[in-house]
Amino acid sequence: MNLLKDKVVLLTGAGGGIGRATAEKLAQCGMKIILFGGNNVEKLKQTQEIVEKYSAGLAIPGDLTNPDFIRTGVQKAAAHFGGIDVLINNAGVAQNTAFEDISLEEFDKIMAINLRTPFILTQQVLPYLKNSSSATIINIASVVSHAGYPQQSIYTASKHALLGMTKSVAREYYKDNIRVHAIAPGGVYTDMVKVSRPDLTPDGMILPSDIADIVHFFLANRGNAVIDEIIVHRVGKEPFLV
């Protein structure tokens, strides 16, 4: 029995990388996918075409730093599919800047996308999740939620904060049967990692499809055993280090 069929997922950062791989994986299970936010309409359209090979998809492009867009977009998405069962906060921006060279504009941009957007989205989606029997929030954090890397201080701060928010929201709403998870990947070979870690090559890197498989695992295995967070490192990284 496919428990995921016809469940509705709202996913950010769907234009490529982890987002596109996740959209395809969940659509293959019959889930309805809302590709939420982002101004590259062409990339969202490409992901929507992939999704619609398997299930229903809806692209809602827009500025994820604009609270009004988030509010109206969530309402539009919920009205289109009759509710929302899953929120995946995946959109993010990276950094490769020496601490003393970080501008306030860069600070604000990173915090806006990596923390403020998931905060507003979670607030807006929670009323719909409370009406779902499979309510789930998955926040794509990072290994820098647990460690600090040079040249990534503000990115690291944003992901520490995202993990902290994840923990608090999980504890606040678990009695409402809302599961809140974090996935903390190391180097996933996407366009974003090319910015934050230009020294890395594709060899031995985590693939977007690997993270999509973990997202699917959380959703497809909703039993009495609950995993709060999964930390993922690439194959060449020494185990139990971040």
Active site residues: 155
Asked if 23 and 51 touch (Cβ cutoff 8 Å), the reply is yes
Nearest C-alpha neighbor of 231 from the set 166, 158, 114, 141: 141
Contacts (Cβ under 8 Å, ≥6 apart) of 218: 136, 138, 179, 181, 227
**What span, in angstroms and rounded, lies between the C-alpha atoms of 123 and 142?**
22
**Residues 6 or more apart from 5 whose CB is under 8 A from it?**
29, 30, 31
Residue 186 backbone dihedrals phi, psi, to 5 degrees = -80, -140
Nearby residues of 186 by Cβ (< 8 Å), 6 or more positions away: 142, 143, 206, 232, 233, 234, 237, 242
Distance CA 70, CA 149 (A): 31
CA distances from 92 to 18, 30, 48, 78, 215 (A): 11, 26, 20, 23, 17
Question: Sign (positive/negative) of CA torsion 142, 124, 12, 99?
Answer: negative
